[in-house]
Chain A
Amino acid sequence: MTTLESVSRRPPPWRNVRVLRIAFQTAFVFAVALFALYLFANLVRNLDRLGIDTSFDYLSQPAGFAIPDSDFRSTEDLFAALLVGAKNTLFISLLGIFFATILGVVVGVARLSSNWLVRRTAALYVESLRNVPVLLIILFWYLGVLLQLPPIGRAVEWEVLVVSNRGLVGPGLRQTDDLLVLVVVAAAGMAVAAALWIWRTRRFDRTGEPHQRVLWSGGVLLGFLLVGYVAGGMPLAVSLPERGELATTGGFRLSPEYAALLLGLTLYTASHIAEIVRGSILSVPRGQTEAADAVGLSSFDRLRFVVLPQAFRVAIPPVGNQYLNLVKNSSLGVAIAFPEVTRITRITISQGGPAPQAIIVLMGVYLVFSLSISLVMNLINRRLALKGR
Chain B
Amino acid sequence: MDTTTLEPLAVSERTPPKRGLPPRRWVKENLFSTWFNGILTVLLAAILGWALYKVARFVFVDARWEIIEVNVTNLLVFRFPREEFWRLWVALYVLAAAVGLGTGVAARLRGEEEREGRARSSAALTTLRRAAPLLAVVGVFLWFAKSPEGTVLVAGAAATWMAARAGGRYVPPRHARRAGAVVLLGVAASYLVVSAFGGVGWERWGGLLLTVFLAVGGIVISFPLGVLLALGRRSSLRAVRLVCVGYIELVRGVPLITILFLGAFMLGFFLPPGSDTPSLESRALVGLVLFTAAYVAEIVRGGLQSVPREQTEAAQALGLSPLKTTRLIVLPQALRAVIPALVGQFISLFKDTSLVFIIGLTELLAVSELITKQPEFLAQGLIIETLVFAGFVYWAGSYWMSRESQRLERRLGVGER
* A residues in contact (CB < 8 Å) with B: 21, 24-26, 28-29, 32, 39, 42-43, 45-47, 49, 109-110, 112-118, 121, 127-128, 130-136, 139-140, 143-145, 148, 293, 296, 299-300, 302-303, 328-329, 331-332, 334-335, 342, 345-346, 349, 355-356, 359, 362-363, 366-367, 370-371
Contact partner of A116 among B31, B239, B262, CB < 8 A? Answer: B31
B384 nearest in chain A by CB position: A144
B255 engages A366 (CB within 8 Å): yes
State the Cβ distance, B237 to closest chain A Cβ, in Å.
5
Chain A residues whose CB sits within 8 angstroms of the CB of B237 once the complex forms: 21, 24-25, 28
B269 engages A140 (CB within 8 Å): no
Q: Is B358 an interface residue (CB 8 A)?
A: yes
B240 nearest in chain A by CB position: A28
20 residue pairs from A and B, CB less than 8 Å apart: A24-B237, A29-B243, A46-B268, A46-B273, A113-B2, A114-B2, A114-B3, A118-B37, A132-B351, A133-B351, A136-B365, A136-B390, A143-B387, A144-B383, A302-B2, A329-B255, A331-B257, A355-B269, A356-B266, A359-B266
The total of Cβ contacts below 8 Å across the A-B interface reads 182
Q: Roughly how many angstroms separate A112 CA and B394 CA in the complex, as a whole number? A: 27
Q: Roughly how many angstroms separate A130 CA and B354 CA in the complex, as a whole number? A: 15
B33 engages A114 (CB within 8 Å): yes
Chain B residues whose CB sits within 8 angstroms of the CB of A302 once the complex forms: 2, 4
Q: Do A362 and B273 form a contact, CB below 8 Å, given A32-B243, A115-B1, A121-B44?
A: no
State the Cβ distance, A293 to closest chain B Cβ, in Å.
6
Chain A residues whose CB sits within 8 angstroms of the CB of B365 once the complex forms: 133, 135-136, 139
State the majority secondary structure of interface residues on B.
helix
Besides A299-B4, A367-B253, 6 more A-B contacts (Cβ < 8 Å) are A46-B271, A46-B273, A114-B1, A342-B258, A359-B262, A362-B258
Contact with A along B229-245 (1 / 0, CB 8 A): 00000001111100100
Chain B residues whose CB sits within 8 angstroms of the CB of A363 once the complex forms: 250, 253-254, 258
B253 engages A366 (CB within 8 Å): yes
State the Cβ distance, A97 to closest chain B Cβ, in Å.
16
A132 engages B41 (CB within 8 Å): no
**Chain B stretch 1-60: residues in CB contact (< 8 A) with chain A:** 1-4, 6, 9, 13, 30-31, 33, 37, 40-41, 44-45, 48
Q: Roughly how many angstroms separate A39 CA and B272 CA in the complex, as a whole number? A: 8
State the majority secondary structure of interface residues on A.
helix
Contact partner of A132 among B37, B253, B383, B395, CB < 8 A? Answer: B395
Q: Do A331 and B258 form a contact, CB below 8 Å, given A118-B40, A293-B4?
A: yes
A27 nearest in chain B by CB position: B239
Q: Is B355 an interface residue (CB 8 A)?
A: yes
Closest A-B pairs by Cβ, 9 of them:
A131-B398, A328-B255, A116-B30, A355-B265, A25-B239, A133-B354, A331-B255, A370-B253, A133-B351
Q: Is B381 an interface residue (CB 8 A)?
A: yes
Chain A residues whose CB sits within 8 angstroms of the CB of B170 once the complex forms: none
State the Cβ distance, A330 to closest chain B Cβ, in Å.
8
Q: Which of A148, A302, A345, A367 has the most CB of B within 10 A?
A: A367
Q: Do A366 and B381 form a contact, CB below 8 Å, given A110-B1, A334-B358, A335-B357?
A: no
Chain A residues whose CB sits within 8 angstroms of the CB of B381 once the complex forms: 148
A356 engages B269 (CB within 8 Å): yes
Chain A residues whose CB sits within 8 angstroms of the CB of B409 once the complex forms: none
A327 nearest in chain B by CB position: B255
B351 engages A115 (CB within 8 Å): no
Q: Is B352 an interface residue (CB 8 A)?
A: yes
Q: Roughly how many angstroms separate A213 CA and B263 CA in the complex, as a whole number? A: 53
State the Cβ distance, B50 to closest chain A Cβ, in Å.
13
Q: Roughly how many angstroms separate A349 CA and B391 CA in the complex, as a whole number? A: 31
State the Cβ distance, A181 to closest chain B Cβ, in Å.
42
Q: Which of B253, B388, B398 has the most CB of A within 10 A?
A: B253
Chain B residues whose CB sits within 8 angstroms of the CB of A356 once the complex forms: 266, 269
Contact partner of B354 among A25, A109, A136, CB < 8 A? Answer: A136
B4 engages A118 (CB within 8 Å): no
A42 engages B33 (CB within 8 Å): no
Q: Is B256 an interface residue (CB 8 A)?
A: yes
Chain A residues whose CB sits within 8 angstroms of the CB of B395 once the complex forms: 128, 131-132
Q: Is B143 an interface residue (CB 8 A)?
A: no
B387 nearest in chain A by CB position: A140
Contact partner of B2 among A21, A148, A303, CB < 8 A? Answer: A303
Q: Roughly how many angstroms separate A349 CA and B262 CA in the complex, as a whole number? A: 12
State the Cβ distance, B146 to closest chain A Cβ, in Å.
25
Contact with A along B340-364 (1 / 0, CB 8 A): 0000000100011011011000000
A135 engages B355 (CB within 8 Å): yes
Q: Roughly how many angstroms separate A29 CA and B352 CA in the complex, as a whole number? A: 33
B256 engages A133 (CB within 8 Å): no
Q: Do A135 and B270 form a contact, CB below 8 Å, given A143-B387, A293-B9, A296-B6?
A: no
State the Cβ distance, B193 to closest chain A Cβ, in Å.
29
State the Cβ distance, A146 to closest chain B Cβ, in Å.
11
A45 engages B273 (CB within 8 Å): yes
State the Cβ distance, A33 to closest chain B Cβ, in Å.
10
Chain A residues whose CB sits within 8 angstroms of the CB of B4 once the complex forms: 114, 293, 299, 302
State the Cβ distance, B235 to closest chain A Cβ, in Å.
9
State the Cβ distance, A2 to closest chain B Cβ, in Å.
18
Chain A residues whose CB sits within 8 angstroms of the CB of B369 once the complex forms: 139, 143
B381 nearest in chain A by CB position: A148
Q: Roughly how many angstroms separate A131 CA and B30 CA in the complex, as a whole number? A: 28
Contact partner of B273 among A49, A116, A370, CB < 8 A? Answer: A49
Q: Which of B252, B261, B383 has the most CB of A within 10 A?
A: B261
B358 engages A139 (CB within 8 Å): no
Contact partner of B352 among A133, A139, A293, A366, CB < 8 A? Answer: A133
Chain B residues whose CB sits within 8 angstroms of the CB of A342 once the complex forms: 255, 257-258
Chain A residues whose CB sits within 8 angstroms of the CB of B236 once the complex forms: 21
Q: Roughly how many angstroms separate A302 CA and B384 CA in the complex, as a whole number? A: 43
Q: Roughly how many angstroms separate A86 CA and B240 CA in the complex, as a whole number? A: 34
A349 engages B48 (CB within 8 Å): no
Chain B residues whose CB sits within 8 angstroms of the CB of A134 once the complex forms: 351
B265 engages A112 (CB within 8 Å): no
Q: Is B377 an interface residue (CB 8 A)?
A: no
B399 engages A367 (CB within 8 Å): no
Q: Roughly how many angstroms separate A150 CA and B399 CA in the complex, as a whole number? A: 35
Q: Is B402 an interface residue (CB 8 A)?
A: yes
